[in-house]
Amino acid sequence: MGDAPLVDAVIAVHDASRPIARAVDSLTTSGLSLSTGGELRITVVCHNLPVDEIRSVLPDRLSSVVRFIGLRDGIASAAGPFTAGIDAATGGYVSIMGSDDYLEGGALAAWLEHAHDGAVDAVIAPQVHAGGSKVRTPPVRPLRRGDLDPVKDRLAYRTAPLGLISRRAIERLGLAFPAGLRTGEDQSFSAKLWFGGGAIRFAAKAPRYVVGADAATRISLTRRALAEDLAFVDQLIDDPWFATLSPRARCAIAIKVVRIHVFDGVLARANDETWSPDDHVYASALVERLRLTARGFERPLSIADRKALDAIVDVNSSQALIAGRLRARRRFGRPETLVTRELSGLLAVEGPVRFMTASALL
């Protein structure tokens, strides 16, 4: 195969029992040719596994079109294998993929139609769960078809850079998956891509990236400390890059962090009785840090969200009070979930009415 395909597809595999053949097979029907000098190159990074072990689970028709790379770093993170695959890429675009996932037919070719001959930094793929439920991120402005605005189109909510990523953009922005994180290794990579100033498109009606159900049975039930799970947030806001962003961009990222990671992380621990005083102190301090680095980010949050946030910040709040307020914010449609404390936040881009409407229409 030639050294410069249109797309380098990178699959990271950590377990030989994963459905890697399904993932590779879906790439062969993605609409791009795999012949020598063709449009697509498939690279499978065998992470802390023998290459021959993964090669052997693929039928000959698939193993013959795959480039295998071995990586042994002893780290339980996808950062290493994705970095290795991207470093080995020479194509105009890179597309990363988990071994549990797969693409609908013709996906890569359809996504490339939005790339404008390489002028676009990234094409965001539409996602769906294998069970059929749609992944409603990013909640872009309804009917938006052109380049996306990272704030107005709420790109911070798409945490995984799935779709097509320009290799030139990776080099220009110095994008990398940070090592050493137990979770969230894709957060800073994606944020720097979305807020990097380049053209971003959303292939909304194209064939989709399918999130496989197989991974759900392998998620560890061991609950880690909240500080460990949200270490990627600390790393993100400590990065000098974050301070260079506009106030609007910092607020957009802070709102997403609170809505998705702080609220969900706290409620999960309250529900299974693993919420600890250390978790509370950490969560309170994190929110206060966000208030300093992204002043006013709470303005578009609903009254129910603000009550939950107040309880988390107050280290004297009981677990029952915090859990009750976090559950209340999920009772969508009630006045407290639709109205903001300040009138100016009601119709803001991140305000509950516009946010919920955009998500529903995605």
Shared domain for 154 and 271, answered yes or no, is no
Backbone angles phi, psi at 138, to 5 degrees: -80, 145
Domain closes at, from 175, 202, 218: 218
Shared domain for 52 and 150, answered yes or no, is yes
At 137, list the tokens.
């991120």
What's the pLDDT at 215? 53
Residues of the chain with pLDDT under 70: 1-2, 214-222
What's the pLDDT at 36? 76
Q: What is the domain-level CATH number for residue 153? A: 3.90.550.10
The reply to whether 2 falls in a domain is: no
Q: Global pTM?
A: 0.94
Distance of CA 241 to the CA centre of its chain: 19
Q: Following DSSP, what letter does each residue of 90-115 receive, concatenated?
A: -SSEEEEEETT-EE-TTHHHHHHTTS
Give the tens place of pLDDT for each residue, 206-250.
999 999 986 544 444 457 999 999 999 999 999 999 999 999 999
What's the pLDDT at 217? 42
Shared domain for 301 and 254, answered yes or no, is yes
What's the pLDDT at 144? 86
Residue 53 lies in domain: 7-218
Shared domain for 241 and 210, answered yes or no, is no
Domain closes at, from 193, 218, 243: 218
Shared domain for 284 and 204, answered yes or no, is no
Shared domain for 140 and 115, answered yes or no, is yes
What's the pLDDT at 126? 97
77 contacts 181 by C-beta, under 8 angstroms:
yes
What's the pLDDT at 344? 87
Domain closes at, from 175, 190, 218: 218
Shared domain for 163 and 41, answered yes or no, is yes
